Amino acid sequence: MIPSLLRASSLFKRSFATFTTPLKATMPASLFESKRPASSPEYDPSTLSNYQHFNVLHTDLDYRVDWPKRKLFGTVVYKLTLKANKAPEQVVLDTSFLDIHEAKINGQSVKFNADTERVEPLGNTVTVDLDAAAATAEFDLTLSFNTTDKVTALQWLEPEQTASKKAPYLFSQCQAIHARSLYPCFDTPSVKTPIHTKIASVYPTVASGNVVPAQESQEEYATTDTIYEFQQEIPIPSYLFAIASGDLTSLPIGPRSKVYSEPPNIDACQYEFEADTEKFLEAAESIVFPYEWKTYNVLVLPPSFPYGGMENPNITFATPTLISGDRQNVDVIAHELAHSWSGNLVTNCSWEHFWLNEGWTVYLERRIIGAIHGEAHRHFSAIIGWKDLQTAIEVMSPAVREQYSRLVVHLKERQDPDDAFSSVPYEKGSSLLFHLENVLGGKAVFDPFIPYYFGKFKKRSLDTYQFRDTLYEFFADKKDILDTVDWDTWFYAPGMPPVKLNFDTSLADVCYKLADKWVAAIKAAPAGGADEAYFRGLFSADDIAGWTSTQYVVLLDSLADSTTESAATTAAVRTLGDVYQFASSSNPEVISRWYTLAVPAHLGPATYQALADWLGTVGRMKFVRPGFRLLVKVDRDLAVATFRKHEAFYHPICRSMVAKDLGL
């Protein structure tokens, strides 16, 4: 998943100064060893299920979409066996806001209890009694259920909220612990299972898995419904199950890839992705090993989708903010594609070890970019990511920083994994891997470890302890080097990484130079006489001719970090927006950074209203949350009114997080 990053301010100037946490001195000699569990992978504290007692051999899901009621009616069938030395009397599954109708063991109805008392934020349980016969061999567990209007995994859109305006639309978002509101499950990344899915809907439908050819039989469903069938042969965890249905069509974007979207947008979506998708696939395969999921498809969702992308196997869900017409934001696809190995094939065992998913994915994403565009582009992305990390940590409250700026977080007191979500697992995790690559001797030395690691844990879930053990196992001849890595600080200390990372700044230097020129002009402005005419005499659109949108972002971030409140700054920022046309950009990465500069520069109520209007058109949390944080500082009434006006448009996850940000 691409994170809902907090505001990325400027790239700090060239030095990339070392940040060392003051907590290091208080740590025991080996915090890593003291925290190591008795056996790995570590138990997942974010589930109420008794998953540790069972092997889940296969899952069958069968849904009917009831559009008038805005509900899914379904059954789930698990093929289970007991793990060695386990003899539970019950199966306990996670649920959340589901109505459970019936439970069966091997086709026979059995007693069950759907607990109505919620354990926040983890939801409810459904408990199914096991008889001795069922518990001694492989058995099928079947539950029938329906969703309710409170489920957090689904968003239902009315036709007027879509691009085509012709049909309603629904889509799911299960990460981190929302699958339990879509079907009763062992909702933990520690459980991975092949899934066969049937969905009956009157509208075109996609789901995680490869499409099974249309079946002739429709006897179980209303004749107005079409059955859509998907087979996911590779075991996946519950958070990677996905469904979307609405007015959908598709076009090819590569020999093994399609893009899906609503018909009015399909040509633009095809244009955005068709030049790069197969290149990304081939580059990733050269770094790890061949792609195992057969197809790689992308669904471009309506604007309320809260993330940049979600790596649902065979059907990446993507934000429409990627469709900028200039192919400047397609690196998100490189990220989601990299998840095919890191996260989907090899998975963190719990959300405490989320960095294993996202740190590896960011590392691989940048390796893909480097393979296609050159190492300077890889480093340019890493520079931006480092500053994203620094800014995210800076804006955290002290309590949040202490708890959630660690690489391995603590969720054992029933914390909501969504609250731990930030750029930390992404950027701090990828920084560790970049550091390891360099201290071990560079890409030529580190690269053979990549397929070894993913091959060893393929189709499995692991924790941080297994990762480090595997590193020592593979690099047994470099133990002395690995022993120099400050593992305790990397894994458990809050704050920035404990080392200085050296990046190639060649692509960023031109951005720094222009930013410095603007700052110098502001400082040299005549006292009381600085106006737009003064700055127009010094700058022109030729300054950024040939630049990429990413370089625009770096310029804006640098200025946001380097300017202070003054009349000259206000005049300069207003001029910059007009001369470089940032104020009218159609690229959301650019326009969001523009507001990051313009709002603190006090451009006035018209700018604040423009930001409020823009926030009503995007649902991606990367833009929505920082936008509201900016707006509330200058006009709280406008910020709250804007949120109330558009809260039904936002996805439930986004809605909840923004409400917290605004203190509502």
Residue 16: the pLDDT is: 32
Residue 507: the pLDDT is: 92
CATH 3.40.50.720 fits 45-247, yes or no: no
> Given pLDDT bands bounded at 50, 70 and 90, which one contains residue 2?
low
Q: Which residues are annotated as a binding site for Zn(2+)?
A: 335, 339, 358
Higher pLDDT, 85 or 178: 178
Residue 644: the pLDDT is: 95
| CA-wise closest residue to 299 among 288, 291, 289, 310 | 310
* Structure-token pair, residue 118: 């919620």
Q: Where in the chain is the domain with CATH 1.10.390.10?
A: 369-492
Q: Where in the chain is the domain with CATH 2.60.40.1730?
A: 45-247
> Given pLDDT bands bounded at 50, 70 and 90, which one contains residue 300?
very high
Q: Where in the chain is the domain with CATH 1.25.40.320?
A: 506-662
Convert the pLDDT of each residue in 307-320 to its tens digit. 888 999 999 999 88
Residue 167: the pLDDT is: 93
Q: Sort strands 90-95 and 124-129 into parallel, antiparallel or unpaired.
A: antiparallel
Average of pLDDT values for 641-655? 90
Residue 489: the pLDDT is: 97
Q: Terminus-to-terminus CA distance in the chain, angstroms?
A: 27
Q: Which residues are annotated as a binding site?
A: 173-175, 306-311, 335, 339, 358, 620-622
Q: What is the CATH number of domain 506-662?
A: 1.25.40.320
DSSP 244-301: EESS-EEEEEETTEEEEE-GGGHHHHHHHHHTTHHHHHHHHHHHS----SS---EEE-
pLDDT at 25 over 80: no
Residue 29: the pLDDT is: 64
pLDDT at 26 over 50: no
Q: By CB neighbour count within 10 A (0-12 exposed, 13-18 middle, 19+ buried), where does 397 fall?
A: exposed
Q: Which residues are annotated as a binding site for a peptide?
A: 173-175, 306-311, 620-622
Q: Where in the chain is the domain with CATH 3.30.2010.30?
A: 253-340
Residue 135: the pLDDT is: 59
In words, the CATH class of domain 369-492 is mainly alpha
Beta bridge partners of 139: 80
* Structure-token pair, residue 91: 């199966």
Convert the pLDDT of each residue in 425-448 to its tens digit. 999 999 999 999 999 999 999 999
Convert the pLDDT of each residue in 122-145 to its tens digit. 999 999 999 765 656 899 999 999
Residue 133: the pLDDT is: 56
| CA-wise closest residue to 334 among 302, 292, 378, 376 | 378
Convert the pLDDT of each residue in 497-550 to its tens digit. 999 899 999 999 999 999 999 999 999 998 776 788 899 999 999 999 999 888
pLDDT at 14 over 50: no
| Mean per-residue pLDDT of the chain | 91
Convert the pLDDT of each residue in 468-490 to its tens digit. 999 999 999 999 999 999 999 99
Contact 208/179 with Cβ under 8 angstroms? no
pLDDT at 15 over 50: no
> Given pLDDT bands bounded at 50, 70 and 90, which one contains residue 565?
confident
Q: What percent of the chain has pLDDT over 90?
A: 78
Q: What percent of the chain has pLDDT over 70?
A: 94
Catalytic residue among 78, 203, 404, 426: 426
DSSP class of 510: H
The phi and psi torsions of 229 (rounded to 5 degrees) equal -125, 140
Residue type, 427: E
CATH 3.30.2010.30 fits 253-340, yes or no: yes
| CA-wise closest residue to 408 among 492, 349, 470, 497 | 492
Catalytic residue among 42, 229, 272, 336: 336
25 CB contacts (<8 Å, ≥6 apart)? none
My answer on whether omega of the bond before 121 falls inside 30° of 0, hence cis, is yes
Residue 621 parent element (H or E): helix 621-634
pLDDT at 21 over 90: no
Residue 134: the pLDDT is: 61
Helix/strand/coil for 589: helix
Lowest average pLDDT, out of 206-215, 363-372, 408-417, goes to 206-215
Convert the pLDDT of each residue in 179-224 to its tens digit. 999 999 999 999 999 999 999 999 999 999 999 987 544 444 455 7
The stretches of 311-448 forming alpha helices (DSSP H) are 331-338, 355-373, 375-395, 398-404, 429-439, 443-446
Q: Known catalytic residue: 426?
A: yes
